[in-house]
Amino acid sequence: MSSVYPNDIDDVARGILGYSRWWQIVAAAVMMALVSPYQYVWSSLEGPLAVELDASLSALGFVFTAYVVIMALVQFPAGWWRDRHGPRVVTVIAGVLAGGGYVGLAFATELWQVYLFYGLGAAGVGMVYTVAVNTAVKWFPDKRGLTTGIGTMAFAAGSAAFVPFIRYMIAGDAITTGLWSMGVLIGVGIMVGTVVLKDPPHNWVAESDSSETETESSTAVADGGRRHYTWREMVRTWQFWVMYFMFFAVSAAGLMITARTILYAEAVGLTAATATIAATVLPVGSAAGRLVVGGLSDRYDRELITAISFLLCGIGTLAVVGFGSLESSIGYIVAVAIAVFFWSSQFSLFPSLVGDYYGSKHSSANYSLVYSGKMWGGVFGGGVVGWLVVIIGWEATFVVGGVLALAAGGVGFLLRPPIASKDL
């Protein structure tokens, strides 16, 4: 994809903000790290909460599913508002919900209260997520892959500080203190970030017309004033539906591995140490993939990088099956690392593609619709995988996941920027 932006784009941004635009990314990344416990600390909380509430694990089993669904669904209305009115109101509400969710959870005494407060927190997480990712899309049309990679990497890696803390508090029989203190930190941190966040004016920087690779009807120019799609216009292009399928398919494989790495290792007879190491590399590989592949997509053809990345995710997923059947510990760990590295890249590639194809003016609402494909991937990676394991076994189930990722990579080669006269 050929994009030519003014060399002084940093100076233009500094003139608008009064400071470097990179502070927008710093604020977004910090907020993403702060809300990461909702996704990555739940596995540490589920057991202790069951004991505290005298509830079964099965009764708590749908808390995380509810989180994934609410977190994805709230992004569209939050993004729609943000595109029209800026990020601050949405972010303030997000701080109250994400912070208050853990504070409320700390004092929950009934099962329904756990679902209520975790659901409210999930709504806050979704608001922060759409604001943070699209801050990168709006302020960095020249470095979308890298900057969205930084934000989503923070979301994956931010829990590294929270997991040891909450486990320490649980071990000290102080789960209530651990939860409310995390809630206060999250709420205050998001409020501070709100002071920094600001959206650029529409068409604040236009691409140079020196690029001869685009026709006048091309909409690949994200911020050149040629075309900014609304969500209604976006869903009438075939590119949206291809990306939606890709998001679902590669999410299905990635979330399956994320949720079942330890169980699969145990099922094929690998050692407990192998399972633990494989689970440890998950967040590391996930965080690295978002940053590295996202950065590469700024330098090379983004569509090609996307297709190859998802093909490698599929190959990695099938390699998990192969090395598992061979009972190769090293091979299994490496295969898991490869699969999650290239799966996680979608969280920097897709917001960049949405900005490239449909413009930055409505990017928050537009990307939230593509991101909703994660819900169906989560349904597959959770309940469907559990059902398939009973019906066809572990190996065949993981092969299905690998084939889905390969399919996502295959159709990725079809992607190209929409052209108004042909794709609407």
Categorize the per-residue pLDDT at 349 as very low, low, confident or very high, splitting at 50, 70 and 90.
very high
Instruction: Give the Cα-Cα-Cα angle 302, 307, 313 (nearest 5 degrees).
Output: 125
Q: Domain 231-423 has what CATH class?
A: mainly alpha
Average pLDDT over residues 370-382: 83
Across 49-63, 233-247, 349-363, least confident range:
49-63
Q: What does the pLDDT look like over 279-329, one tens digit per residue? A: 778 878 888 888 899 889 888 899 999 999 999 999 999 999 999 989 899
pLDDT for residue 101 is more than 90: yes
pLDDT for residue 56 is more than 70: yes
Q: What is the pLDDT of residue 5?
A: 57
Residue spans per domain, the chain: 9-196, 231-423
- pTM score: 0.77
Q: Classify the C-alpha dihedral 14-20-23-24 as positive or negative.
A: positive
Q: What is the pLDDT of residue 423?
A: 58
Average pLDDT over residues 338-354: 91
* CA diameter of the chain: 67
CATH topology match: 9-196 vs 231-423? yes
pLDDT for residue 212 is more than 60: no
- Give me the architecture of the 9-196 domain, per CATH: Up-down Bundle (1.20)
Q: What does the pLDDT look like over 227-271, one tens digit per residue? A: 788 889 999 999 999 999 999 999 999 888 887 787 888 888 888
Average pLDDT over residues 79-105: 92
